[in-house]
Structure 1
Amino acid sequence: MKFFNVKTVDETMAVIEEQFAPIHEPVRISILEAVGRILAEDVFSREQVPPFARSTVDGYAVQAKTTYGASESLPAFLDITGNIHMGKRAELPLVEGQAQYMPTGGMLPEGADSVVMIEHVEEVGDLLNVYRQVAPGENVIRAGDDVRVGDRVLARGSRLRPQDVGVLAAIGVTEIAVYPIPVVGILSTGDEIVPPDKAELSPGEIRDINSIMIGARLAQLGAKAVYGGIVRDEYEELLTRAKALFEQVDLLLLSGGSSVGTRDFTVQVLEALGEPGVLVHGVATKPGKPTIIGKSQGKPVVGLPGHPVSALIMFDLLVVSILRRLQGESNEVPDKRSRARISRNVPSAAGRSDYIRVRLEERGDELWAVPVFGKSGLVTTMVESDGIVEIAANKEGVVEGEQVKVMLFGSSY
């Protein structure tokens, strides 16, 4: 089989960005279910946080100027005029020369501009000895210091984290619009592939690794996997099963059947599912060149290589990007790769992107990436690895000690 439309990784990423977009209308959900989901709207605050000036310590509300010059040897003396209780309004205004006790989080009384910590004072009846001066605003969060009315607290396309849900709660937003979770169908192909639960293998058979491994990765990413089972290398059967699964999902993955061989039907099936068909027919990478990306009736269809290492690497490299597009995630995703030094020279052929499996080791104060070599059919090399390092197509390798970026296995989007 020839690869008719081989593209570089960058070209493939450009195709993904151009061709795929959210395919469902947003839905509204509770913030209790929102972690990991993609926000479908900008969120603006209708109130300020905190709504009142509050103390960050246990201590006494004061006017800072009344403490200037206070020290252990020469304290300032203030009149204690009340206690402020948690969750209650500070009713009594504070004037110069006075102090009021308040707990952490308590509401600052009118007239106070700072709080002196309880460790730096001493009560003597109704008199407060202050042994340390404070500055205006010290130990205080002012009203609106965190969020002001009209602030955009979260942007459309953000993947929601626990702290993001926290700020929504802080401004009183309990329901938000998000894009639906993508449903991904997985179909394994090959006459030699049998279910993992088969007790005894016949000669020439091998248990299905890819659908289980890719399904687990989808679960880790918050997507829903639909397993279509195993299909023999027979065109009509593959087409029938692929069509049935295609109707149920937002993204169809065909594992195997995309490598060079006389019984390759992935391209034919993809074309039969609908236009425009094949977009990328081979990616200039090692491993993973026999990867096919297409689009049928607006849905992405991806043919992953049969070898487990190639399948998982190309899934993380390309399919994750497609999933981002389907969920409306912002293009401004920070680079989360870890930095390390490569432990040995690794040659590479110019013109293709090489992906080297590595395990990470701490050596002194530095992190080192140690290559784990092995053929792409050896799944244990992935077990022994922490991630992969890209050698870009314009390089002819990396040299020992060179700093590289490691994409960790199992990391989030």
Structure 2
Amino acid sequence: MEYFNCIALKEAEQLIVNKLEGLIVGSEQVSLVESLGRIVAEEVVSKEDLPPFSRSTVDGFAVRGMDTFGAGEGVPALFDIVGEVAMGQQTVVQIKPGQAVTIPTGGMLPSGADAVVMMEHAERPDSSSLLVLKAVAPGENVVVKGEDISVGRQLLQQGQKILPQDIGALAACGCVAVSVRQKPEVAIISTGDEVVDVDCTPVGGQIRDINSYALAAMLEDAGCRVSRNGIVKDQYEDLLAALSQAVNHCNLVVVSGGSSVGVRDHTVRVIKELGKSDVVFHGVAIKPGKPTIFGMIGKVPVFGLPGHPVAAMTVCGQIVKPAIQILLGQTVRDVYTIPARLSRSMASVPGRDDFIRVQLSKKASEYWAEPVLGKSGLISTMSAADGIVHIAADKGGLYSEEMVQVELITKQ
């Protein structure tokens, strides 16, 4: 077995981008209620104005704003009440100078009116008269036609993830279906003679399969449809058969374990055999996750991840998930960070990208990041973390109290 040759993280990222160019998954139409969290395949623009008519934002009286200028409690402006707007109905009343119309919140603004006097800023000496005690400017307490969303305005752009507020905007404009990217089909293969499923009681040197469950959860959260293809023993023929089957029906395959250079690590050899070419890279200068593999079998990208859970999850987050976003047609990585001060100094090796797990706490008006230390085989260090701090390859570490950006790990 050849030893892996580590390349820089940025180089690995660019190689993946080059290999996946043009491999965007297909699209499908889904109903509005099914579109949450999906990736937009085609731009969506509004075909109508919202609101479709000018409307009041308060209970009060529709007037011409200029007719109230100079009005105050000592010198109220007098208006004639010439009608009332019914909620949910069109009004045909036309307001003339010195006239007012009673209007509810959300009611259609009558023709000629351009403002609404709030109920508490007016008095009614009788059923047909109104005293305005505070002036209103044209446009005050009113939403005009198309002010929220106008015809032709972009509601969704290609590659955008649909959020709850987007669904609200789509519903308001009458969009009942959306064209979205199909969920990439991803297969996860766990390897290892020592690995057993979670419903088994480990004996001797056995351990339960952590990676396929954790990685499946991460990739489902990234918008994939994931199949866990079982546990494959450390036999070349077994992995060859499992990977050969997986690439026939998936857009991407992840192999957990078997990515190093031991006699039981067969992933590189299998990818070479099935792909009829060398792997794209074997080894990335990151910690944790150095023995990472990337290759292509036909048009299917295959990633070989380390067996240690934290390393596997780190590589999945930093390398595999961005590849998924390329397949989904997304151009901007979906990462959320917050600034925090590091609670202690952290050394690093120049030339290697380090990813440090941290817990967040708020002191006074700022966040502090406390490193969660532990080996890459300890899953508890990942479950205890709130986020990840990236130490770039051109740095030799971070100093205590230095301000850093923490990539958040979503927790409900």
Q: CA deviation at 1:145?
A: 1.2
Is residue 2:41 matched to residue 1:35?
no
Partner of 1:160: 162
- Contact 2:219/2:321 (<8 A) preserved: no
Name the residue aligned to 2:98.
97
- Of the candidates 191, 198, 201, which is equivalent to residue 200 of structure 2? 198
Output one character per residue of 1:24-75: Cα deviation in whole Å (capped at 9) or x when no partner. Answer: 3211111111111111111222222211111111211110011111222222
What does 1:13-412 align with in structure 2 at a 5 Å threshold? 13-20=13-20, 21-125=22-126, 126-199=128-201, 201-275=202-276, 278-329=279-330, 331-333=331-333, 335-410=335-410
Instruction: Flag the 1:304–1:333 CA change in 2: closer, same or farther, 3 A.
Output: closer
CA contact (8 A) 1:220 1:410 kept: no
| 1:384–1:75 distance in 2 versus 1, CA, 3 Å | same
- Is the Cα–Cα contact under 8 Å of residues 61 and 118 in structure 2 kept in the other structure? yes
Task: Describe the superposition over 1:111-155 as per-residue Cα deviations: whole angstroms up to 9, x where unpaired.
Answer: 000111112112222211211111111111111112222222221
Contact 2:24–2:326, Cα closer than 8 Å, also in 1 = no
**What's the secondary structure of 2:168's corresponding residue?**
helix
**SS of corresponding position for 1:388:** strand
Mapped partners of 1:267, 1:372: distance in 2: 32
AA aligned opposite 1:187:
I
Amino acid at match of 2:226: A
Shift in Å, 1:2 = 4.6
Structure 1 unaligned residues grouped into runs of 5+: none
Name whichever of 347-356 and 99-108 sits farther off.
Answer: 99-108
Q: Secondary structure at the match of 1:124?
A: coil
Cα deviation code 1:360-399 (max 9, x no counterpart): 0111111000001100001111122111100000000011
CA distance in 1, matches of 2:219, 2:5: 27
Amino acid at match of 1:339: P
Identity level (%) = 46
Q: 1: CA distance between counterparts of 2:276 and 2:59? A: 67
> How many Å apart are 1:108 and its aligned residue?
0.6
Give 1:314's aligned amino acid.
V
Opposite residue 35 of structure 1, the aligned amino acid is L
Alignment-mate amino acid for residue 231 of structure 2 = I
Residue 316 of structure 1: how far off its partner (Å): 0.7
Distance 1:277 1:74 in 2: 88
Cα deviation code 1:167-192 (max 9, x no counterpart): 22222221221110112111100111
Contact 2:46 2:152 in 1 (8 A): yes
Letter in 2 for 1:175: A
Contact 1:275 1:295 in 2 (8 A): no
* Alpha-carbon separation, structure 2, partners of 1:23 and 1:358: 34
Shift of 1:243: 1.4
C-alpha distance in structure 2 between counterparts of 1:382 and 1:91, whole Å: 65
Q: Which amino acid aligns with 2:317?
A: D
Structure 2 residue runs without a partner (length 5+) = none
Task: Report if aligned partners of 1:217, 1:410 keep a CA contact under 8 Å in 2.
Answer: no
Counterpart amino acid of residue 274 in structure 2? L
| AA matched with 2:292 | T
**How far did residue 277 of structure 1 move?**
5.1
1:247 and 1:276, CA in 2 relative to 1: closer, same or farther beyond 3 A? same
TM-score, scaled to structure 2: 0.95
**Structure 1 position 333, deviation (Å):** 4.3
Once structures 1 and 2 are overlaid, which stretch shifts more, 262-271 or 384-393?
262-271
| Contact kept? 1:277, 1:296, Cα under 8 Å | no
TM (normalized to structure 1)? 0.95
* Structure 2 residue identity aligned to 1:315: C
Q: CA deviation at 1:236?
A: 0.3
Residue by residue over 1:68-103, the C-alpha shift from the partner in whole angstroms, topping out at 9 and shown as x without a partner, is 112222221111111111211121111111111111
How has the CA–CA distance of structure 1 residues 180 and 99 changed in structure 2, closer, same or farther, with 3 Å as cutoff? same
* TM superposition outliers: structure 1 runs of 4+ over 6 Å: none
Paired residues, number: 410
